[in-house]
Amino acid sequence: MTSMTLPGVTLRPADSDDVAAVAAVWHTGWRDGHLGNVPASLEQHRRLDDFRRRVPARIAGTQVAVLGPRVIGFVMVDYDEIEQLFVAAEARGRGVADALLRQGEEMVSAGGLGRAWLAVASGNTRARRFYERMDWQDAGPIEYSAETATGSITVPCRRYERQLGFPSRG
């Protein structure tokens, strides 16, 4: 996998030492983009401890963006799905999300897959604009199953897809 850098920012595979930092970025970012855009019943399953519990099983498919020793963003890939992508609020607007998304696309492509997909909460207009700017196509509504410790909760989302292997504007 290609090592990508931005001024002062490096992307690298996550490891077990990154669990707490990834969970913290995920928790804060999730709240920024999801509160008011997902069923209220999901909120009680999205505390910091819930993210700490969820991260270890996903570390192998996670790349982090680091600024010095600090994790400022991450992308998680599960087969052909860009499952999660979050950047700390103070690091937004620096191209970190762009680089993480492209890294996630490379991870999907490295698995021999020609198309990637992701789900975005329908009301998360900031994220939807970002993916559209990055040449992802809105493929329509889906009911996404958000996992919790006690089962799953259905979240109305939009499915975005991108054919891989073509030049992008991002």
Which residue in 70, 141, 71 sits closest to 100, CA to CA? 71
Which pLDDT score, from 0 to 100, does residue 59 have?
Answer: 97
Q: Is residue 169 situated within a structural domain?
A: no
Residue 25 CA to residue 44 CA, distance in Å, equals 18
Q: Radius of gyration (Cα) for the chain, nearest Å? A: 15
Q: Looking at the domain assignment, is residue 10 inside a domain?
A: yes
Q: Could you tell me the residue range of the domain that residue 30 belongs to?
A: 5-163
Q: Say what the pLDDT of residue 167 is.
A: 47
Domain with residue 10: its CATH number is 3.40.630.30
Whether 55 is covered by a domain: the verdict is: yes
Token pair for residue 63?
């790349």
Q: What is the pTM of this model?
A: 0.91
In a domain, 137, yes or no: yes
Answer whether residue 170 is part of any domain: no
Work out how many domains the chain is built from and give that number.
Answer: 1
Query: Does some domain include residue 143?
Result: yes
Instruction: Give pLDDT tens digits along the chain (170 positions).
Output: 444 446 789 999 999 999 999 999 999 999 999 999 999 999 999 999 999 999 999 999 999 999 999 999 999 999 999 999 999 999 998 899 999 999 999 999 998 889 999 999 999 999 999 999 999 999 999 999 999 999 999 999 999 999 997 544 55
CA distance 61 to 77: 5
Assess if residue 62 is contained within a domain. Answer: yes
Residue 68 domain-assigned (yes or no): yes
Which H or E run includes 132? helix 125-133
